[in-house]
Structure 1
Amino acid sequence: MASLPRPRRAVMGDIRFLVGIVLVALSIGGVWLIVASADDAAPVLQANRTITQGEALASEDFQVVEVSLGSLTDEYLGPEDLTSGQVAARTLAEGELVPSSASMDAEDSRTTTLVIQSSTGVPEGVQAGTIVEVWHAPPVDEGRSYETPRILVAEVIVRDVREPEGMLADSGTQLEVVINRPDVADVLSAITGGSVLSVVPVGNGS
């Protein structure tokens, strides 16, 4: 006796059933991957503000975030890695995760800070973390005039801008800058020698 052909509707039902099983499996697999990824998350430090090169690293300047970095986790600082005597090896931007290479012992730092006064004011946009040139114009004729301005230090990092107020408003703007130690003597000599100082952001066509 010849067998009857299987109804087409039954075949389509089997295909839909199989597709349903595949979709359920994919959904379960996706949830598993999400859970596994969450399990791989590790606590790392994130800067709450701009931290300039040479500045001491303090716990209040960071927040702890859980991030999945995989094999790169060890390349970033966790809360347990922050100890006293550490300074920023480079400027850290606000919101940046802190790589281990961005910290160093204060004893190894080759930078310090100076406060200088810019007689020409400070260009808009100069703030903590901005890299600037320091220019100076040495006095001549016992201070009655000045030489043509020239670069004194080609690259320093602004740590703080202190705008003058009240009676000091006409005296120029003070900046605390991070400077390499070998350049300190030249800047101090220019200041004590009566040079007029000014700053120009690096990259502005100066």
Structure 2
Amino acid sequence: MNSHPRPRRAFWGDVRFLVGLGMIAASLAGVWLVVSSAGATTPVLQATRTIVEGEAVGSDDFQVVEVNLSSLTDRYLAPQDLDGGSVASRTLAADELVPDSAVADAESRRTTTIVIETGTAVPGGVAVGSPVELWQSRMPEDGAAPEPPSILVDAATVASVVEDEGVLASSDAGVELVIERSDVAAVLAAITGGANLSIVPIGTAR
């Protein structure tokens, strides 16, 4: 009986087989990367209370939380990024993740705080961190017609409210405001000039 030699497999068939194995391996690697990245977290800082713009901050003002990388849309402050002598460059709400742009070096800040006595009741919705306007009403000189109230500072932030015997809506109240340093002279001039000062939450009146 004559035996017929088995035909050899074509070279292109072997190559196609190897390419198929490579594609399967690449697919498995891609799935592994997706799964592993979905579970990856990074430690970032979270505010434990409302922090007002210009306020000095330290480690006691934050807690470290682990956040999934895929949920981050911006760069946030890590525990090792918090330096001594830092201040909030904007108001941070309690439980807010802290962007690195929200904390700055104290020497670079352009704001300061000033305490004013208001001549009217503080609106009930005003609290620490509220953005407000500071209005003034100057006392007219003898025989002069009274001037209409005007905006003295168009953008300030409430740092604290001094309550009068537990009643916020008293006829007078002390309010600590964060204002630009460039506005300090005008505010002090209004205070020494005897102007009546009032705060108005931004967006409610103008």
**TM-score interval w.r.t. the shorter chain?**
0.7 to 0.9
Match of residue 59 from structure 1: 59
Structure 2 residues without counterparts, runs of 5 or longer: 1-30
Q: Does 1:148 align with 2:160?
A: no
After superposition, residues 71-150 of structure 1 pair within 5 angstroms as: 72=72, 75-141=75-141, 147-150=147-150
Which amino acid in the other structure matches residue 120 of structure 1?
T
Partners of 2:73 and 2:86 in 1: CA distance: 20
Match of residue 200 from structure 2: 200
Structure 1 residue 188 displacement after superposition: 0.3
Say whether the 8 Å CA contact 1:46–1:62 is kept in structure 2.
yes
Match of residue 37 from structure 1: 38
Count of aligned pairs between the two proteins: 175
With normalisation by structure 1, the TM-score equals 0.75
Partners of 2:180 and 2:98 in 1: CA distance: 23
Partners of 2:71 and 2:96 in 1: CA distance: 19
Partners of 1:190 and 1:106 in 2: CA distance: 28
User: Are residues 198 and 67 of structure 1, via their aligned partners in 2, closer, same or farther at CA, if it must alter by over 3 Å?
Assistant: same
Say whether the 8 Å CA contact 1:42–1:73 is kept in structure 2.
no
User: Are residues 171 and 73 of structure 1, via their aligned partners in 2, closer, same or farther at CA, if it must alter by over 3 Å?
Assistant: closer
Structure 1 residue 163 displacement after superposition: 1.1
Structure 1 residue 41 displacement after superposition: 0.6
Say whether the 8 Å CA contact 2:122–2:170 is kept in structure 1.
no
Structure 1 residue 205 displacement after superposition: 2.9
User: Are residues 48 and 71 of structure 1, via their aligned partners in 2, closer, same or farther at CA, if it must alter by over 3 Å?
Assistant: closer
Report Cα offsets for 1:35-91 as digits up to 9, x if no partner: 6533x2111000111111111122111111000124959811111111111111111
User: Are residues 71 and 196 of structure 1, via their aligned partners in 2, closer, same or farther at CA, if it must alter by over 3 Å?
Assistant: closer
Say whether the 8 Å CA contact 2:120–2:171 is kept in structure 1.
no
Structure 1 residues without counterparts, runs of 5 or longer: 1-28
Which amino acid in the other structure matches residue 135 of structure 2?
W
Partners of 1:34 and 1:133 in 2: CA distance: 50
SS at match of 1:75: coil
Match of residue 15 from structure 2: none
Say whether the 8 Å CA contact 1:164–1:171 is kept in structure 2.
no
After superposition, residues 4-43 of structure 1 pair within 5 angstroms as: 37-38=38-39, 40-43=40-43
User: Are residues 86 and 44 of structure 1, via their aligned partners in 2, closer, same or farther at CA, if it must alter by over 3 Å?
Assistant: same
Say whether the 8 Å CA contact 2:56–2:88 is kept in structure 1.
yes
Partners of 1:146 and 1:159 in 2: CA distance: 31
